[in-house]
C-alpha cells in the first residue's frame, strides 16, 4: 500500500514544495520511500512550470533539503481523489480543495498543521515577497508539521506491510 500525500499552497513555489522536500527527506531517512507518493500543487495558475522560489530553495538547502527538481503545477480535481492526504497550508487552500472535491470526499482535504504539535496557528504564513527570515519561519512550521504527519502515518505503513 502506498500512501499519497499532497501539499497545497497558492503558487506552488514556496510552502508546498518546501513541505515536499522536508517530508521526502524525513521519509527517506526513515527508510520508507516505497510507502509514500509525495507531491505538491497550487491553487493559482500564475507560476506553472516555475522552480521553487530562490529564497525557499536557499532556506531548505541550509537545512539539508533539496528543492531543485521542483516545477510548479496547478491543483486538479483528480488530485483530491488520488491522494489520501491532500493538505492545505492555509484556510483559503482548504476552501478551494473542498470546493473542488467530489461530494463524497469533501472532508478528505485537511489543514497541514493539524498534524503539528505545539503550534499556535493552523496556517503556514505565505513567505512569498518577504525576507529570508519569513522563509525560515515557514520552514520551522513545515518541519513541525512533517514530523507530526510522519509520526501519524508510520503506524499505517507498518499495518499495511
Per-residue pLDDT reduced to its tens digit, 76-134: 999 999 999 999 999 999 999 999 999 999 999 999 999 998 888 899 999 999 999 99
Separation CA 103–CA 74 (nearest Å)? 21
pTM for the model: 0.96
pLDDT at residue 77, as a whole number: 94
Separation CA 73–CA 38 (nearest Å)? 14
> Hey, what CATH class is 12-160 in?
alpha beta
Q: Which tens digit of pLDDT belongs to each residue from 14-52?
A: 999 999 999 999 999 999 999 999 999 999 988 899 999
- Positions marked active-site: 9, 15, 126
Hey, which residues does 88 pair with through a beta bridge?
A: 8, 111
Distances (CA, A) of 42 to 13, 36, 38, 94: 8, 20, 14, 11
pLDDT surpasses 80 at 161? no
Separation CA 7–CA 17 (nearest Å)? 8
What ranges do the domains of the chain cover? 12-160
Amino acid at each position: 500500500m502506498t500512501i499519497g500525500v499532497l501539499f497545497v499552497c497558492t503558487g506552488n513555489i514556496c510552502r508546498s514544495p518546501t513541505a515536499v522536500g522536508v517530508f521526502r527527506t524525513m521519509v527517506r531517512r526513515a527508510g520508507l520511500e516505497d510507502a509514500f507518493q509525495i507531491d505538491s500543487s497550487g491553487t493559482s495558475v500564475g507560476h506553472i512550470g516555475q522552480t521553487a522560489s530562490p529564497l525557499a530553495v536557499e532556506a531548505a538547502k541550509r537545512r539539508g533539503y533539496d528543492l531543485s527538481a521542483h516545477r510548479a503545477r496547478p491543483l486538479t480535481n483528480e488530485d483530491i481523489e488520488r491522494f489520501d492526504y491532500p493538505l492545505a497550508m492555509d484556510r483559503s487552500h482548504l476552501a478551494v480543495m473542498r470546493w473542488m472535491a467530489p461530494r463524497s470526499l469533501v472532508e478528505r482535504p485537511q489543514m497541514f498543521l493539524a498534524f503539528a504539535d505545539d503550534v499556535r496557528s493552523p496556517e503556514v504564513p505565505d513567505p512569498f515577497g518577504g525576507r529570508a527570515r519569513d522563509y525560515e519561519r515557514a520552514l520551522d512550521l513545515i518541519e513541525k508539521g512533517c514530523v507530526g504527519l510522519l509520526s501519524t502515518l508510520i503506524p499505517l505503513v507498518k499495518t499495511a506491510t
